[in-house]
Homo-oligomer: A and B are copies of this chain.
Amino acid sequence: MDDIKRYMETLGRAARAAAQELARTGTAQKNAALDAIAAAILREKAALLAANAEDLAAARASGLEAALLDRLTLSGKGVDDMAAGVRQVAELPDPVGEMTDLRYRPSGIQVGRMRVPLGVIGIIYEARPNVTADAAALCLKSGNAAILRGGSEAIKSNRAIAALIREGLQAANLPSAAVQMVETADRAAVGELITLREFVDVIVPRGGKGLIARLREEARVPMIQHLDGNCHVYLEASADPEKALAIVENAKTQRYGTCNTAESLLIDANAATRLLPPIAAMLEAKGVEIRGCPRTCALIPAARAADEEDYAREYLAPIISVKVVAGLDEAIAHINRYSSRHTDAIVTENHGFAMRFLREVDSSSVMINASTRFADGFEYGLGAEIGISTDKIHARGPVGLEGLTCRKWVVLGSGQVRG
């Protein structure tokens, strides 16, 4: 235990030193490292696939479930995509150093903000080797040092990727401690990482709800976290039926397992008989189970009764909860009560209702006449995301390079003193 503590402190101290160097590294040098990493990944495709095959064999032998095996698997295309992702991050604008809002004050000083890296970022993730390259690229481009702790099932894949990242860093004359991997499989390392306040500025956990809930209890370092995606679509009485059908279909059925998938459908009582039957028919045709309130069940014979818990659930499955509501007020109140504050959408042709929904729904993304599936860093133009935050502090929603930075104050004077 003491050994793990010392090991993590060693990583932390090296990361802090590297972060100070990265903070003053120019864009060209960071991009050179990213390009070298991408090239090394492509060059060593066969070696990466071999390392991944070893992980997969061990995981199969230990009986890892199919969904986790799927995430652990690197294909040839997966390696190509990983390299392309790193190159894409190189092409994004560098957020570091941007100065804004420089205004003169009556005292004669000029006050503004400068965007700077957070410092050292700890990433804790499950057995998905591609996250190793993604997270490293985003941290590096934003001038942060990274400490990566991936799932132990992916240890050989991750080691192989980490070696190529180090190679790229060295090629660009950057400290290899800019991206470090936690090499021990001991779970105590995670406990140390999330309490290493002296050396770690923020933790980004990427994984299931169980992992994140546990980390949240124990963390002493701030986290950019995402617990749940219980997303709603509300069909207001004036909703266009074609838009409503298309948006519900896309939001619920395009992919069942993503966090921006709709899990709950609210319909205005004045439009339920008009809007609900064709939507229910579409859902039934796609094999989606409907769990509804009594009025829903009266309109849709195939629906089964929803209980209270259904409205709070992230199904991640072909199931949707449906509720008929009296109007906008009840819809907003229901969403603010049950939503996980991820993404919620209204379908309406009424401007006033649209604006009220936009203002009053307290979620990281609020949408008018668009599918919840758009809540995504690429769709929003961030280029890539390190995660989607359902917290309110620091960053909300998709977190890209900007979310890995903060803004300090800069004061330009010419000898001023305070009166």
Interface residues of A (CB under 8 A from B): 20, 23-24, 97, 103, 105, 107, 109, 111, 114, 116, 118-119, 201-202, 216-217, 220, 222, 240, 242-243, 246-247, 249-251, 254, 336, 345, 356, 358-360, 362-371, 373-375, 379-381, 391-394, 396-398, 406-418
Contact = CB atoms under 8 A, between A and B. Distances in A.
B202 A415 contact: no
Given A105-B380, A371-B416, A381-B103, A366 B408 contact: yes
A201 to B, nearest CB: 6
Given A362-B119, A393-B202, A370 B411 contact: yes
B418 A374 contact: yes
A370 B416 contact: yes
Nearest to A249: B417
Given A381-B103, A393-B201, A411 B250 contact: no
Nearest to A105: B381
A409 B345 CA distance: 12
Given A118-B392, A392-B406, A109 B365 contact: no
Nearest to A407: B396
* A370, A398, A407, A414 interface centre (most CB from chain B within 10 Å): A370
26 contacts: A23-B359, A23-B362, A24-B356, A109-B367, A109-B370, A109-B374, A111-B379, A111-B380, A111-B381, A119-B362, A222-B222, A222-B393, A247-B415, A247-B417, A254-B417, A254-B418, A345-B411, A358-B410, A362-B408, A364-B408, A366-B408, A366-B411, A367-B413, A374-B413, A393-B394, A396-B409
A183 B345 CA distance: 40
Nearest to A417: B250
Contact of A379 (B107, B356, B397, B408): B107
Contacts of A393: 118, 201-202, 222, 393-394, 406
Contacts of A20: 336, 360, 362
A336 B368 CA distance: 46
Nearest to A116: B362
Contact of A374 (B366, B415, B416): B416
A105 B23 CA distance: 31
A418 B201 contact: no
Contacts of A370: 109, 411-413, 415-417
Contacts of A345: 411
Contacts of A356: 24
A360 B413 CA distance: 18
Contacts of A249: 417
A12 to B, nearest CB: 15
Contacts of A417: 246-247, 249-251, 254, 370-371, 373
A359 B24 contact: yes
A415 B414 CA distance: 55
A3 B346 CA distance: 41
A374 B412 CA distance: 11
* A216, A375, A411 interface centre (most CB from chain B within 10 Å): A411
Given A114-B366, A374-B411, A392-B406, 13 more contacts: A97-B359, A105-B381, A107-B374, A109-B367, A119-B392, A222-B391, A246-B417, A247-B415, A247-B417, A365-B408, A368-B412, A370-B416, A380-B409
A336 B23 CA distance: 12
